[in-house]
Structure 1
Amino acid sequence: MTIPVFYSISDDFTKYAAVSLNSLVKNASPQNDYTVTFLNQDLSEKHQKQLAAFANDYVHVKFFHIDEKLVKPIQNRKENYLRADFFTMSIFYRLFIPDLFPQYDKAIYIDSDTVVVDDIAKLYNNDLDNKLFAACTDSSIQYVDKMVKYIKEVLSLDPKKYINSGMLVLNSKAFRDEHFIDHFMHLLERYHFDCIAPDQDYLNEIGDGRILHLDPRWDAMPNENTEPISKPGLIHYNLFFKPWHFKDVQYNDYFWKYASSTPFYEELKGELDNYTDQERAEDRAKLDHMLEKEASTALDPNNWAQVKRKGERVKL
């Protein structure tokens, strides 16, 4: 049995993805077989070779080029901006995994700003039954009042059940059988929902009622309001608290442990050392900028809540 794991990556994120891949390989069991695939549009041959070097007899590393035609309907428009300030197509790649890889009935997707602290096979072995996917509640937003309000009033969802899309166990067969991508494209093109977290909001809405909520140890995120999880399985340096930019980030020791045995270690340490306090202040301010959407989306006659009230079928 092959355990398929996917990342979506742009070339400038290679050094962080290398840390995540290194951690995954270090904690993988020789008793299993893993295939790690990097979905990309611009990954250089040099960076592909550097990532491929982490492979061993039971962890195989592959690369898949995302065709421009596939994602063409997803336009560089303000409602698709990540964190309200820039557009990146790579956040949407995860949605296409089931259709692009029909050989897999189940697959794992993880963001590149992660480290895997336990055997990822344990994550894969969760029984999805008739759920569309498994994920963890987004712990990073539970103390952010504007985000909680946005989820309640704009998305018309329960914030305690709102998942983070940085780690997903996909029921790929159900995605294909129930034509997830067709439904996603219909909603995207008809309503142009203005989202704070574009791909994440679509997954929460379409999967509403059919999400398997996993132990939070599988998507542990730095949080200034809570104590760290004692035995995380996967750590996700979500939003702006990156250990290569901030020195006091929760769980940063895990990142540097795995970074130290990659060819990017010195470069990463240099990035941390050269990052200025002004840049850190600007990073923190980006959260406020991101949340500015809450007020405008609440008034949008075609926001998620309003569209659902009008009778549109949003969830599968």
Structure 2
Amino acid sequence: MTIPVFYSISDDFTKYAAVSLNSLVKNSNPENDYTVIFLNQDLSKEHQDQLVALGNDHVHVKFFHIDEKLVKPIQDRKENYLRADFFTMSIFYRLFIPDLFPQYDKAIYIDSDTVVVDDIAKLYNTELGNNLFGACTDSSIQYVDKMVKYIKDVLDLDPKKYINSGMLVLNSKAFRDEGFIDHFMNLLEKYHFDCIAPDQDYLNEIGDGRILHLDPRWDAMPNENTEPLPNPGLIHYNLFFKPWHFDNVQYQDYFWKYAKETPFYEELHAELDNYTDEERSEDRAKLDHMLEKEDSTVVDPNNWAHVKAKGERIKL
């Protein structure tokens, strides 16, 4: 049995992805077979070679180039901005995994700003049943009042059930059988929903009622309001809590432990050392900028809540 794990990266994110990959490899079970596939559009040969070198006999590192035509309908528009300040196509790649890889009926997707501190095969062995995917409640937003209001009033969803899309156990067969990607594209082209977290909002809306909520240890996030989990399985340095930009971030020791064994360790430490207090302040201000969308989207006649109230089918 092969355990397929997917990342989506741009070339400038390779050094962080290398840390995540190294942690996955170090915690893999040699009795299992893992295939790690990096979805990309611009990954250099040098970076590909560096990532391949982190694999071993039972963790095979591969690459898949995303065709421009496949994602052409997803345009550089303000409603598709990540964190409300820039556009990156790579956040949408995860939605296409089931259709691009029909040989897999189940797959794992994880973001590159993660470290895996338990055998990811345990996550893969989750029984999904009729659910579209398994994921963890987004713990990073539970104490952000404006985000909670956005989920309630704009998305018309329960904030306690709103999942983070940085770790997904995909029921790929159900995605294909039920036409997930066609439904996503239809909604995208018809409504151009203005989203705070574009791919994540679509997954929460389309999957509503068919999301298996997993143990939070599989998407542990640094949070200034809570104590760290004692036994995280996967750590996700979500939003602006990046240990390569901030010191004293929850779970940072895990990151540096695995970074040390990659060719990017010195570069990552230099990035932390050279990151200025002004840049850190700007990062924190970006959260407020991101949340400003709530003010406009709550009165948008084509927001998720209003469209659902008109009877449009959103859930798959």
Aligned partners of 1:54, 1:15: CA distance in 2, in Å? 12
Structure 1 runs (4+) deviating above 4 angstroms are: none
TM normalised by structure 1 equals: 1.00
Please name the residue that 1:258 is paired with: 258
Q: Does 1:167 align with 2:144?
A: no
What is residue 25 of structure 1 aligned with on the other side? 25
Q: 2-side partners of 1:275 and 1:26: how far apart?
A: 29
- Residue 164 of structure 1 and its aligned partner are, at CA, apart by 0.0
Q: What's the CA shift for 1:179? A: 0.2
**2:237 counterpart residue number:** 237
- Once residues 197 and 39 of structure 1 are traced to their aligned partners in structure 2, the CA distance between those partners, rounded to angstroms, is 20
- Residue 55 (structure 1) shift: 1.3
Matched, 1:275 2:275: yes
Mapping of residues 4-19 of structure 1, within 5 Å: 4-19=4-19
Q: Provide the residue aligned with 1:314 in structure 2.
A: 314
* Letter of the 2:159 counterpart: P
Letter in 2 for 1:112: S
How far, CA to CA, are the matches of 1:54 and 1:130 in structure 2? 35
Letter in 2 for 1:294: E
**Residue in 2 aligned with 1:128?**
128
- Distance in 1 (CA, whole Å) between partners of 2:256 and 2:195 is 33
Identity of aligned residues (%): 87
Deviation at 1:178, TM superposition (A): 0.1
* Structure 2 residue aligned with 1:84: 84
* 2: CA distance, partners of 1:27 / 1:199: 28
Question: SS at 1:189's partner residue?
Answer: helix
Question: What's the CA shift for 1:27?
Answer: 0.1
Query: In structure 1, how many angstroms separate the alpha carbons of the residues matched to 2:48 and 2:290?
Result: 32
Q: 1:184 corresponds to which residue? A: 184
Q: Which letter does structure 1 place at the counterpart of 2:107?
A: A
Residue 204 of structure 1 aligns with which residue?
204
- Are residue 42 (structure 1) and residue 36 (structure 2) matched? no
Q: Provide the C-alpha distance between the structure 2 equivalents of 1:13 and 1:29, rounded to a whole number of angstroms.
A: 26
Name the aligned partner's letter for residue 215 of structure 1: D
Q: How many residues align?
A: 316
Q: Take 1:38 and 1:261, find their aligned partners in 2: how far apart are those partners?
A: 20
SS in 2 for 1:122: helix
Unaligned runs of 5+ in 1: none
Partners of 1:315 and 1:73 lie apart in 2 by: 21
- TM-score, normalising length: structure 2: 1.00
Q: Distance in 1 between matches of 2:248 and 2:54?
A: 28
Shift in Å at residue 145 of structure 1? 0.2
Unaligned runs of 5+ in 2: none
- 1:293 is displaced (CA, Å) by 0.1
Alignment partner, residue 73 of structure 1: 73
Separation in 1 of the partners of 2:184 and 2:275? 39
- Structure 1 residue 239 displacement after superposition: 0.1
Equivalent residue, structure 1, for 2:221: 221
Please give the per-residue CA displacement for 1:215-254, whole angstroms capped at 9, x wherever unaligned: 0000000000000000000000000010000011000000
Match of 1:140 in 2: 140
**Alpha-carbon offset, residue 98 of structure 1:** 0.1
CA RMSD of aligned residues (A): 0.3
